[in-house]
Amino acid sequence: MNALCDTEKQSLPAGKGISQPEPSALLPKDRWILSRLSHAVELCNAGFQAYNFPAATTALYNFWLYELCDVYLEYLKPVFQGTDVGAILTARHVLYTCLDGGLRLISPFMPYISEELFQRLPRWGASEPPSLMVTSFPSISNYDFRNVEIEDEVKFIQKVAGVVRSTRADYNLPNKTKTELYLSVFCETSASILRRYASVLETLATCSKVVVTDSPPAGCAIVTVSDKVSAHLNLRGLIDPTKEVEKLEKKKSALLTTIQKLKKLNLNDGKMPEDVRKSNEEKLVQSETEVTRLTEALAVLAALDS
């Protein structure tokens, strides 16, 4: 533009300046993390009022680690790597709200670390307080984002993702190897939720695509998520069936040995400490469940090898 002569500049149509991108609408996952932030604010305030500080710190621990870091930040990775500028702006706003509110919540317990991190956050505007020490503690009236319905939906999605990740671990699939996931659903409500959160499942379950269908392809590992959903992972071309059979057979043999040892113990013996008895019972149930999963995995591998 600087190289244009005055005549050429005057011949250009009148403009309105550079077009600025607009944030897109909040997605369900954005509403979920805001709802969890609101719940953390509620629990912290209740904990302070009742002098129940462990309840407040537990709420903060769960929000920061299990919800913000383990789930929402993982969900944001493909968003920030994408090209949808509106979605990126929305994600930034939501993430900023969570960080700002989360730091204010932990300030009474971790004043120095929270202050250091707070100083690294950009301010909303010139009128923002210069320090956490002079900010108001979050209240429900300022963080009224609670949405129990979306929380239940995301809890269901996380359950599906957890089952898929466990199945991937059974076949020793690394995170860089993505699988195709086909979901057979016997409830239209559940099917609708899974379709809406398909992109979220791709990220959380490390899948290349997620499809809700009544006829998944052959060669899939099949696992039951619930009485309404079964997951089918397409493994063709991703693993060496012969090598995987050897690994799983060794693992199954070790588990069967453990089960035999546990069954020889008299778990109803009154002389055995209660905590030891419960631990052995849990280990027995867990081992038997894992053997069942390995048996199903071996059946799938046998079909792939044939």
Structure confidence at residue 255 (pLDDT): 87
Q: Are 255 and 294 in contact (CB under 8 A)?
A: yes
Ranges of beta strands (E only) in 69-212 are: 179-185, 207-212
Query: Length of the chain, please?
Result: 306
Ranges of beta strands (E only) in the chain are: 179-185, 207-212, 220-224, 229-234
SS (H, E, C) 21-46: CCCCCCCHHHHHHHHHHHHHHHHHHH
Structure confidence at residue 275 (pLDDT): 81
Helix axes 241-264, 274-305, angle to 10 degrees: 150
Structure confidence at residue 281 (pLDDT): 84
CB half-sphere exposure, 19, CA atoms < 13 A: 6
pTM value is 0.72
Q: Are 154 and 28 in contact (CB under 8 A)?
A: yes
Output the six-digit token pair for 219: 């060669």
- At 200-218, the pLDDT tens digits run 999 999 999 999 988 888 7
Structure confidence at residue 191 (pLDDT): 92
How far separated are the first and last CA of the chain, in Å rounded? Answer: 67
Q: What are phi and psi of 221, to 5 degrees?
A: -80, 125
Structure confidence at residue 1 (pLDDT): 43
Fold of 152-234: hypothetical protein PF0899 fold (3.30.2320)
How far apart, in Å, are the Cα atoms of 72 and each of 76, 138, 148, 182, 196? 6, 21, 17, 23, 16
Q: Which CATH number applies to 28-123+130-134? A: 1.10.730.10
Q: Are 157 and 197 in contact (CB under 8 A)?
A: yes
- pLDDT below 50 — which residues of the chain? 1
